[in-house]
């Protein structure tokens, strides 16, 4: 198939291009090399067009004879405060809307969309008395005392996290999360208006070779590695017991190829899948694993916190296995050990 890949010069986009090409697909890439994500010295990979997906004329040209669009282009990171909202909307919301309008003009009916676990906000929890509950907002008085786990919104008691499914309600906590939800809504509306088929892949914590180093958009794994390379202990917020699912970028690329090949067989409409490793891992475990492999100083659990941070979020991989035939092949112990020496972007 002929695939238009947006964000083709990015961390995940580069891996998708390689995997899709290896699977026999023709990939046309486009990327605007947004400075805040790529820095000032980044270069386009061979064959990738330099362009802005908010340019309708460019899209009309690129979409000629395209079978599937794999849409990865986005401003990433959580943002800092409400002043970041216009920037996320300008790139992620408008970029997606412009792309979908162009797909309607050119008759392109298949879309694979990079979404994110951030659409869920906090995860889901079980209360011994009240059952399955969303967590109550964490209170500053608890955080100051080192009580980081959220409470039941009904009884105020202790609750335990459990794996989240694709049917969980949206609960954005950041500008990035709000823009990812908007992208899914735009895609769903396009499906209805154009009888299109779309698959939204809700990535969990991505890491692996080529991830950005030392930028506001670096994942926590790259931040920890950079500290260890400087001979400094990784600084772990809260108590280090925050649950996450770390999914290797090679597996993310495999999931995108599976979605590219499956979306044509899907009935019109939007389907969403968690893309994760299926292994829960704490942020503290990641820091300790990297420190051990790199022979660096032990992490420091500093008790610092940020009010907007999610405490626990981990997903069920079952729907992706059933709907896409996708199952992650790289576990966090193996992948994090590899990350200790893997090349990072910006080095």
| 294-314 per-position pLDDT tens digit | 999 999 999 999 877 899 999
Say yes or no to pLDDT of 217 above 60: no
Query: Helix axis angle, 332-339 relative to 220-229, nearest 10°?
Result: 40
DSSP label at 10?
S
Q: Which of these, 260, 269, 265, lies nearest to 197 by C-alpha position?
A: 269
How many domains in the chain?
Answer: 1
Q: Which CATH number fits the domain that encloses residue 66? A: 3.40.50.720
Please indicate, yes or no, if residue 308 is contained in any of the structural domains: no
Q: What does R_g of the chain's alpha carbons equal in angstroms?
A: 20
Range with lowest mean pLDDT among 17-26, 88-97, 119-128, 217-226: 217-226
In degrees and rounded to multiples of 5, residue 161 shows phi and psi of -70, 150
pLDDT at 80: 62
pLDDT at 36: 66
Please indicate, yes or no, if residue 28 is contained in any of the structural domains: yes
Range with lowest mean pLDDT among 6-10, 31-35, 92-96, 182-186: 31-35
Mean pLDDT (whole number) for 105-128? 95
Please give the residue that has the higher pLDDT: either 265 or 293: 293
Domain encompassing residue 78: 2-122+164-209+246-278+317-330
Say yes or no to pLDDT of 338 above 70: yes
Q: Are 134 and 122 in contact (CB under 8 A)?
A: yes
Reported as a pLDDT band with limits 50, 70 and 90, residue 79 is low
pLDDT at 83: 86
Mean pLDDT score of the chain: 93
Please indicate, yes or no, if residue 343 is contained in any of the structural domains: no
pLDDT at 253: 98
Sign of the four-CA dihedral 286, 288, 293, 295: positive
CA-to-CA distance for 61 and 56, rounded, in angstroms?
A: 9
DSSP SS3 for 274:
strand
CA-to-CA distance for 159 and 131, rounded, in angstroms?
A: 9
Say yes or no to pLDDT of 218 above 70: no
Q: What percent of the chain has pLDDT over 90?
A: 81
Please indicate, yes or no, if residue 199 is contained in any of the structural domains: yes
pLDDT at 344: 85
Please indicate, yes or no, if residue 341 is contained in any of the structural domains: no
Please indicate, yes or no, if residue 99 is contained in any of the structural domains: yes
Reported as a pLDDT band with limits 50, 70 and 90, residue 99 is very high
CA-to-CA distance for 37 and 239, rounded, in angstroms?
A: 29
Reported as a pLDDT band with limits 50, 70 and 90, residue 37 is low
Residues 94-119 as b/e (b if ≥16 CB within 10 A, e otherwise) read bbbbbbbbbbeebebbbbbbbbbbbb
Please indicate, yes or no, if residue 71 is contained in any of the structural domains: yes
Q: What percent of the chain has pLDDT over 70?
A: 95
Please indicate, yes or no, if residue 179 is contained in any of the structural domains: yes
Q: Which of these, 107, 171, 99, lies nearest to 133 by C-alpha position?
A: 171
């Amino acid at each position: 198939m002929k695939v238009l890949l947006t964000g083709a010069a990015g961390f995940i986009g580069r891996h998708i291009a390689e995997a899709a090409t290896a699977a026999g697909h023709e990939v046309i890439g486009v990327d605007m090399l947004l400075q805040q994500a790529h820095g000032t010295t980044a270069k386009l990979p061979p064959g990738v067009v330099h362009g802005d997906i908010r340019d309708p004329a460019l899209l009309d040209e690129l979409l000629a004879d395209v079978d599937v669009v794999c849409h990865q282009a986005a401003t990433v990171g959580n943002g800092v405060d409400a002043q970041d909202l216009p920037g996320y909307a300008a790139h992620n919301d408008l970029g997606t809307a412009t792309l979908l309008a162009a797909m309607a003009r050119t008759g392109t009916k298949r879309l694979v969309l990079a979404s994110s676990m951030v659409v869920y906000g906090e995860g889901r929890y079980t209360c011994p008395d009240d059952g399955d509950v969303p967590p109550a907002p964490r209170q500053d008085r608890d955080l100051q005392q080192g009580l980081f786990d959220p409470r039941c919104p009904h009884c105020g008691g202790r609750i335990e996290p459990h794996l989240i499914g694709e049917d969980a309600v949206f609960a954005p906590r950041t500008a990035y999360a709000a823009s990812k939800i908007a992208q899914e809504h735009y895609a769903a509306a396009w499906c209805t208006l154009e009888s299109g088929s779309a698959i939204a892949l809700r990535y969990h914590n991505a890491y692996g070779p080529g991830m950005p180093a030392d930028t506001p958009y670096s994942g926590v794994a790259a931040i920890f590695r950079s500290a260890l390379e400087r001979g400094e202990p990784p600084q772990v917020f809260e108590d280090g017991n925050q649950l996450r699912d770390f999914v290797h970028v090679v597996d993310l690329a495999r999931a995108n190829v599976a979605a590219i090949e499956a979306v044509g067989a899907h009935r019109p409409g939007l389907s969403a899948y968690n893309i994760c490793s299926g292994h829960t891992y704490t942020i503290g475990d990641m820091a300790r694993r990297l420190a051990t492999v790199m022979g660096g100083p032990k992490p420091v659990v500093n008790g610092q916190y940020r009010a907007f941070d999610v405490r626990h979020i981990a997903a069920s991989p079952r729907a992706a296995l059933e709907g896409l035939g996708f199952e992650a092949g790289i576990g966090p112990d193996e992948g994090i050990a590899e990350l200790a020496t893997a090349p990072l972007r910006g080095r």
